[in-house]
Amino acid sequence: MRLQRALAQAGVASRRAAEGLIEAGRVTVDGQVATLGMKVDPDRQRITVSGKPIHKVEQRWLAFHKPMGVVTTASDEEGRRTVFDFIREPRGLTYVGRLDVNTTGLLLLTTDGEAVHRLTHPSYRVPRSYTALVHGLPTEEIEAATRKRVLVDGKPVVPSRVRVRPGREGRSILDVTLTEGRNRIVRTWCEAMGLKVERLARIAYGPVRLGELGVGASRPLTEEEEAAIYKAIGMGGSRPAGTPGRRAQGSRPAKPKRRETRHTPRKRG
């Protein structure tokens, strides 16, 4: 396999980040500085990153309910708590899609760097669903605004699903699903429509839903959820044999939601 894929599968970094390590000359194969795109056999060759040999890690997938004020990073210069402070045995884990410090909700973590690359790459169009508490316009005007073409940094934001509901004390609840992950995209999209975001939570990433997972808690993905993720990114059957997904007690397999293109509230009958 290509070297960057071997690094990703070992949990060193995503494939794109692994390419950066190789280009920086920090990776060696059998004592020789590696080159981008070279093919390796991780079972027979010694691969090091910054002088440290890589080792295979047990494949893991976790769903984590990120609290407010926690940063999505491995370490923080300001001393704030990070998502990895909440995870038992975080070795080899990396997050899928950053959540900013004031956004709560579902964060996926895994040791599969190649899957991280595909889940976050725009070409795979993996849906992310959010719920936002907003104010600034009446609910009816927000609903009308979501139907219009809104640009963020010169590019249109194209939700695959939008639902607007009235909240309390002049607020509105905005449910939105996007297939892109630009930095702070939901907040900037709302701001472009003249809205102020009071609270924002991610409630689903691909086929995995937050459900009733408590704030600050994590759980292993079910075998069905893992299979659905790999199917969504064209890696069906990529989970190594002997590492079945573990079902959390009382949890149910997540069912992928039907994609909607309507921008009006759905009626329930």
Residues marked as catalytic: 100
SS3 254: coil
Map residue 178 onto helix, strand or coil.
strand
Beta bridge partners of 130: 176, 202
Among 69, 67, 101, smallest CA distance to 87 is for 67
Q: Helices (H), strands (E): how many in the chain?
A: 6, 15
> 169: burial class by Cβ within 10 Å (0-12, 13-18, 19+)?
exposed
Residues listed for the chain? 269
Q: What are phi and psi of 32, to 5 degrees?
A: -105, 140
143 contacts: CB under 8 Å, gap ≥ 6: 164, 263, 264, 265
Beta-strand ranges (E) seen in 61-141 are: 61-66, 94-96, 104-110, 128-135
What are the two backbone dihedrals, phi and then psi, of residue 257, each rounded to the nearest 5 degrees?
-80, 145
DSSP SS3 for 255: coil
